[in-house]
A and B are shown apart, each in its own frame.
Chain A
């Protein structure tokens, strides 16, 4: 009896403990709901967002979004508002999907580098507005590529440019595409190849900013000028427009000229700098023959040639510097601050005229902060990058706050904020860095996506979130998961682009192109074998190519189709050859036949009902 009582008691105690535990458990803090969902909360919000982003099958998007692929080296094309991935433009990395980096021409263009950290795409402009001709994109190994938007193909990779190390502050174009720009993030002793101890960083390491001239007709890039700077880490830039046309602005961190553990050592001062460069004056100085030859190119030292570069103090560790559509304001965002600074271009000019300086850095005058700023806008924590709307509105990404702040130019008041999931880096509004932004859409390029998609293991995708900016309140419309890693993007109205869908036969000027299967065949000159190949549904002609071991084989293939979508591939097994030829295009691949045997080649790009049958053999006969 006693035993039973005891047992009931202990059960009772246990029950109370469990109940208390449950209660406490329920009281434990859980994440705020809004942060979890991060936007559309009510059913009607979801319905509106769905309607605004739904592009019915067969319908077309309103905008193209060209998103940088970061260290994947590519440019990814999305449609807005659907956020559908439309295509990948290979730039700095081989891309078997289009045979890029396998044929002679693209292989030569890539050079010895098979990766590039692609950062900031820039659409070509006329009078400060996108003209839909070219897309430029930089990468860290000192290169800029030009993509022709007539066929969405990389046409030129310029560089590595001498002296430029870590080309991050790039490829921002000027309002009439006179230049794409370069700026070094990692200063080194120049010319490349020289060595100085790290202790001499402050004096012997140099930063470089460079102007890359763009031929107005062909888009061909060439080096125009370089300016040597103190070893600051140049970060981002934007060209002046309208009233500030002729000027270029770059942010830098590490004004301390520190080395080692930069996260500490470079964040000691309250302010870093924005460089203001009068590039029209630089052009003049270059024309007058100024500059010294370093690394085979003329480099201007601002100490010797004053009147070209000035430094504007800006909040600690700035990232973005963005010029307002009217060109009047330069918005500099210090990542480690809670404000973004609006500088007034007129005031900058006046300060330069009045020599309103507080000192200099290796001969480059530093302007007085109070004299050139118009406002410090309390946007929130970690302001990073700013884009603009058509109505005088600015949108600043807040990395630390993981949000976007919307604020008004002139009155400097913050009118709205929207959380982003998560840790937004850059943002891209529709034509939002031109003289006439469209508004309507904005894409936040977020660094973290955790938990907002089906789990795909530790390699998490980046997230790009589409935001509706057509109304007073910003509204989250869509989560897209993008290829790594979008550092910046360009959004252009779809009707500004008119891409071709086949290469017209009459434009093919390749002397080795052939258009009739009768002309296909193999010829030999010594140990050089030339195979002229025709690709057309559903035969690769010739169907056998015979060579001898040790021959240098050049296969030139022409896809004689003139029909949209009739791409043909040429995959050669065991020789690591994978070519894709678009309709009307001719591509060549040259290799040494260094393995004897019989090697099948076949069409890799499904073309027709008899695609499987589109095949042949490379026969490499052993010697003797």
Chain B
């Protein structure tokens, strides 16, 4: 154990090689789609809605299908069960997620330029934490909408958890919930960061301590 930590400390101080740096830059590039594409998509079909109602959740906005009309329609339907209107103003996430993505991006760039292994590890750890928190936050939001139903609603339904991943039948609606392109890109960011750290680690373990310029 002690050996591991000592070795780790040595590796963390090492300067990054070209390959890990390239993966860091790639990770940065894959952050960009999270601004352009939805992170999550919800699609609802019912007999009366053969074309489906669509909602895309971006890192900074909601976008309804049919020029935004679908979100309004979802709200009109949800008001019968006493669900709160889905409104951009209610999503704090839209304020902090873009900011955090930007901050993580800067950290990744910093690691790519300054180039210590420890920086890459920092990026990975912060990013994984951010990712996990975001997924929890999204899940909680779904839970919150499904469980904060007005007691005076015209149609009483048991509190429910909308599907986070996959399909669920809710009354006359079949609801599909899947990650969007933005989330897949964010997944690639994690992969690139992990690869950068993994490569740096392997490199560090193989290189003889004396040959390192890190000490200098």
List A residues at the B interface (Cβ < 8 Å): 536-538, 561-563, 608-610, 613
Kindly provide the distance from the CB of B155 to the nearest chain A CB, expressed in whole angstroms. Answer: 8
Report which of B69, B80, B155 forms a contact with A563, defined as CB distance below 8 A: B69
Interface centre among B76, B80, B155, by most chain A C-beta atoms within 10 angstroms, is B76
Which residue on A lies nearest to B73, using beta carbons? A563
How many angstroms from the CA of A554 to the CA of B173 in the assembled complex?
A: 40
B76 touches A563 (CB 8 A): yes
Nearest-Cβ distance from residue B24 to partner chain A, whole angstroms: 46
Complex contacts, A561 vs chain B, CB 8 Å? 76
A562-B80 in contact (CB<8A): no
Interface flag for B141 (CB, 8 Å): no
B72 at the interface (CB under 8 A from A): yes
Q: Is A536 a contact of B76 with CB atoms below 8 Å?
A: yes
Cβ–Cβ < 8 Å partners of B154 in chain A: 538, 610, 613
**Please, which residues of chain A bring their CB within 8 A of the CB of B69?**
562-563
User: Smallest Cβ distance from A516 to chain B, in angstroms?
Assistant: 12
CB distance from A539 to the nearest CB of B (A): 10
Which A-chain residue is minimally distant from B155 (CB atoms)? A609
> In the assembled complex, which residues on chain B have CB atoms less than 8 Å from the CB atom of A537?
76
Closest to B70 in A: A563
Q: In the complex, what's the smallest C-beta–C-beta distance from B48 to chain A, in angstroms?
A: 9
CB within 8 Å of A: which B151-168 residues: 154-155
Is A610 a contact of B80 with CB atoms below 8 Å?
Answer: yes
Q: Which residue of B lies closest to A563 (CB)?
A: B73
* Cα separation A563 to B76 with both chains bound (whole Å): 10
Give A562's nearest chain B residue, CB to CB: B69
Complex A-B, nearest 8 residue pairs according to Cβ-Cβ distance, in ascending order: A562-B69, A563-B73, A537-B76, A610-B154, A562-B72, A563-B69, A610-B80, A536-B76
Interface residues of B in 55-96 (CB under 8 A from A): 69, 72-73, 76, 80
Which of the residues B72, B73, B80 comes within 8 Å of A609, measured between beta carbons? B80
Dominant secondary structure at the A interface = loop
Cβ–Cβ < 8 Å partners of A613 in chain B: 154
Min CB gap A395→B, angstroms: 40
15 examples of A-B residue contacts, CB within 8 angstroms: A536-B76, A537-B76, A538-B154, A561-B76, A562-B69, A562-B72, A563-B69, A563-B72, A563-B73, A563-B76, A608-B80, A609-B80, A610-B80, A610-B154, A613-B154
* Closest Cβ neighbor of A560 among chain B residues: B72
Q: How far is the CA of A607 from the CA of B34 in the complex (A)?
A: 39
CB distance from B202 to the nearest CB of A (A): 57
How far in angstroms is the closest Cβ of chain A from B54?
14
Instruction: Say how far B83's CB is from chain A's closest CB, in angstroms.
Output: 14
**Chain A nearest CB: distance from B111 CB in Å?**
47
Q: Give chain B residues whose Cβ lies under 8 Å from the Cβ of A610.
A: 80, 154
> Once the chains are docked, how many angstroms separate the CA of A538 from the CA of B80?
9
Name the residue among A538, A562, A608 with the largest chain B CB count within 10 angstroms.
Answer: A562
> How near does chain B come to A207, taking the closest CB pair, in angstroms?
53
Given contacts A538-B154, A609-B155, 4 further A-B contacts (CB under 8 A): A562-B69, A562-B72, A563-B72, A563-B76
Q: Which residues of A contact B80 (CB under 8 A)?
A: 538, 608-610
Chain B residues in 8 Å Cβ range of A538: 80, 154
Q: How many whole Å from A562's CB to the nearest CB in chain B? A: 5
- In angstroms, Cα B155 to Cα A512, docked, is 33
Taking CB as reference atom, which chain A residue is nearest B77? A537
Contacts of B76 in A (CB 8 A): 536-537, 561, 563
A5 to B155, CA, bound (A): 91
- Chain A residues within 8 Å of B72, by CB: 562-563
Residue of A nearest to B51 (CB): A564
Min CB gap A208→B, angstroms? 49
Report B130-171 residues with CB < 8 Å from chain A CB: 154-155
Question: What residue in chain A is nearest B79 (Cβ atoms)?
Answer: A537
Return chain B residues, CB-CB under 8 Å to A608: 80
Measured between C-beta atoms, what is the minimum distance from B127 to chain A in Å?
40
A504: nearest residue on chain B (CB-CB)?
B67
Q: Closest CB-CB distance, B124 to chain A, in whole Å?
A: 45
Q: Which residue of B lies closest to A583 (CB)?
A: B69
A609 surroundings in chain B (CB, below 8 A): 80, 155
B17 to chain A, nearest CB (A): 56
Q: Give CA–CA (A610, B80) in the complex, Å.
A: 9
> A518 CB to closest chain B CB, in angstroms?
13
A538–B76 Cα distance when bound, in Å, is 9
Complex Cα distance A536/B75, Å? 12
Min distance, Cβ B87 to any Cβ of chain A, angstroms: 13
Q: When chains A and B are docked, how far (Å) is the Cα of A563 from the Cα of B66?
A: 10
Question: Which residue of chain A lies nearest to B68 when distances are taken between CB atoms in the complex?
Answer: A562
Chain A residue at minimum C-beta to C-beta distance from B154 = A610
CB distance from B121 to the nearest CB of A (A): 51
Alpha-carbon gap, A613 to B155, bound state (A) = 13
Complex CA gap A609/B154 in Å reads 10
Cβ contacts under 8 Å, B155 to chain A: 609
Q: Which of A537, A563, A609, A613 is packed against the most chain B CB atoms within 10 Å? A: A563
Give complex CA distance A64, B95 in Å.
51
CA distance A537 to B80 in the complex (A): 9
How far, in whole Å, are A101 and B73 apart by their CA atoms in the complex? 31
In the complex, A563 Cα to B72 Cα: how many Å?
9
Closest to B76 in A: A537
Q: What's the Cα separation between A538 and B73 when bound, in Å? A: 13
Give the distance in Å from the alpha carbon of A609 to the alpha carbon of B69 in the complex: 20
Q: Which residue from chain B places its CB closest to the CB of A613 in the assembled complex?
A: B154
CA distance A609 to B73 in the complex (A): 15
Q: Name the distance in Å between A498's Cβ and chain B's nearest Cβ.
A: 16
Measured in the bound complex, the distance between the Cα atoms of B71 and A563 in whole Å is: 11
Q: How far does the alpha carbon of A561 sit from the alpha carbon of B154 in the complex, in Å?
A: 20
Min CB–CB distance A214 → chain B (angstroms): 32
Q: Give Cα A438 to B155, complex, Å.
A: 54
A506 CB, min distance to chain B CBs, angstroms:
11
**For residue B72, which residue of chain A has the nearest CB?**
A562
Give min CB distance, A507 to chain B, whole Å.
13
Distance between Cα atoms of A437 and B182 in the complex (Å): 52
Give min CB distance, A611 to chain B, whole Å.
12
CB closest chain-B residue, reference A565: B48
Complex CA distance for A494 and B152, rounded to whole angstroms: 47
- Cα distance A609–B77 in the bound complex, in angstroms: 10
In angstroms, how far is the closest chain A Cβ from the Cβ of B115? Answer: 52
CB proximity of B49 to chain A, nearest CB, Å:
10
Q: Which residues of B have CB within 8 Å of A563?
A: 69, 72-73, 76
Q: How close is A603's CB to chain B, nearest CB, in angstroms? A: 14
In the complex the two chains form, what is the Cα distance from A563 to B73 in whole Å?
Answer: 7
CA distance A29 to B209 in the complex (A): 120
The complex places the Cα of A536 from the Cα of B85 at a distance, in Å, of 15
